[in-house]
Homo-oligomer: A and B are copies of this chain.
Amino acid sequence: MQAGIAVAAPNPALIFETLLAHQRSAALRTAIELNVFGAIGEGPADAATLAARCSVSVRGIRILCDFLTIMGLLSKQDGVYSHTPTSALFLDPHSPASLHSTARFLSLAEMRTTYDNLTEIVRTGRTVLPGEGSVEPDNPIWVEFAHSMAPMMAPMAGPLGAIVLEGRTSPMRVLDIAAGHGLFGIEIAKQNPRAHIVALDWARVLDVAEANARQAGVADRYQRLPGSAFEEDYGGPYDAALLTNFLHHFDAPTCVGLLRKVHAALKPGGISATLEFVPNEDRVTPPMAAGFSLTMLISTAAGDAYTFRELEAMHLEAGFRRIQAHPIPNSPHTVVTGIAG
């Protein structure tokens, strides 16, 4: 028995809740599709009023809003529904922090239906998607990702920039590998007005990153490098390289190979910064970082949510030193840095 951990009594409710957990995802998807959170944003209202605002049935909206309330995504008082702090900030489409696009990405049918094959995937140990799964060349899902996941990733950009720059304002060249929406490289360019960014990703994904760079006013210091992170010549040498949300798609030897290539493109003393879901060594805490490995099982041939010890070993094998973990507060993400040389 593990010391200090109370043994819970047998709890059949946990099993029913787990079997029916898919209802929770469906209810939130539907509420977003029907603009329920926008309708609540017009002011607290009862079911009949909301039904009119959303052009849906009273029975349907009442049961849906009760379910959202049970989940903590709405509040209900005397039959009147209103926002919770969470729904006001992250689900009202008028909020600047709205996660609507992220929710749509995470709800894409092609991502959800893969779970119907989970039994087969556990048998074989790899995605049922063809080839390398989600990391097949030019997979259009990454264009969608670049468009949709920026709101989820935006809060991580500031801290990552600060970790990489440590206040540096001198000229520097930064390679942003698998740039996606580009927010991380763009943040470096914003924090250091003398930083030049080279962004690598599939060409159609870079269109999204470049548009974001223009909007952020850093387009004149933003350069495209379209293609595969494994095949393109990185150029260089660079002062810093970003490797965000990328290593988890591959097995450890592939990660080491890629980190070697990054190492070769960095100046001596240059910094590599990976952003990852990094579970504790027990692989079952904290829940969000540890649970991410299931997404990698579903969508890749050999990816994983790597622990710090595993990431450290990969970096060391690739020639990096001073490997450090920087957990980002209030997020499931950790920045792991290593110094070239």
Which chain B residues border A237 with CB–CB below 8 Å?
Answer: none
Residue of B nearest to A296 (CB): B63
Contact mask for chain A residues 56-96; partner B; CB cutoff 8 A; 1 contact, 0 none: 11111111101101111101110000001110111100000
CA distance A20 to B115 in the complex (A): 11
Which chain B residues border A7 with CB–CB below 8 Å?
Answer: 85
Q: Is the CB of A21 within 8 A of B19?
A: no
Interface size bracket, A side: 35 or more
Report if A309 contacts B (CB, 8 A): no
Report if A135 contacts B (CB, 8 A): no
Q: Is the CB of B86 within 8 A of A12?
A: yes
Which positions 241-291 of chain A face chain B at CB distance < 8 Å?
Answer: 282-285, 287-288, 290-291
Which chain B residues border A23 with CB–CB below 8 Å?
Answer: 21, 115, 291, 294-295
A307 to chain B, nearest CB (A): 11
User: Assuming A8-B72, A72-B8, is B85 touching A22 (CB within 8 A)?
Assistant: no
**Which one of B13, B62, B72, B287 lies within 8 Å of A288 (CB-CB)?**
B13
CA distance A160 to B124 in the complex (A): 47
User: Assuming A25-B22, A282-B76, is B14 touching A123 (CB within 8 A)?
Assistant: no
Which positions 115-136 of chain A face chain B at CB distance < 8 Å?
Answer: 115-116, 118-119, 121-126
Q: Is the CB of B282 within 8 A of A90?
A: no
User: Assuming A59-B125, A61-B122, is B99 touching A12 (CB within 8 A)?
Assistant: yes
CA distance A19 to B148 in the complex (A): 14
Report if A34 contacts B (CB, 8 A): yes
Residue of B nearest to A95 (CB): B10
| Chain A interface, DSSP helix/strand/loop, else mixed | helix
Report if A24 contacts B (CB, 8 A): yes
CA distance A119 to B31 in the complex (A): 8
Copies in the complex: 2
Report if A178 contacts B (CB, 8 A): no
A109 to chain B, nearest CB (A): 8
User: Assuming A90-B10, A283-B66, A284-B69, is B60 touching A123 (CB within 8 A)?
Assistant: yes
A10-B90, A13-B332, A30-B118 are known; give 5 further A-B pairs, CB within 8 A.
Answer: A12-B152, A21-B25, A34-B122, A60-B297, A67-B294
30 sampled A-B residue pairs with Cβ under 8 A:
A9-B85, A11-B85, A12-B99, A12-B152, A14-B71, A14-B72, A14-B73, A14-B86, A15-B28, A15-B73, A15-B86, A16-B106, A18-B24, A18-B25, A18-B73, A21-B21, A21-B22, A22-B115, A27-B118, A29-B119, A34-B119, A55-B123, A57-B125, A60-B121, A60-B123, A64-B297, A66-B290, A67-B293, A70-B284, A76-B283
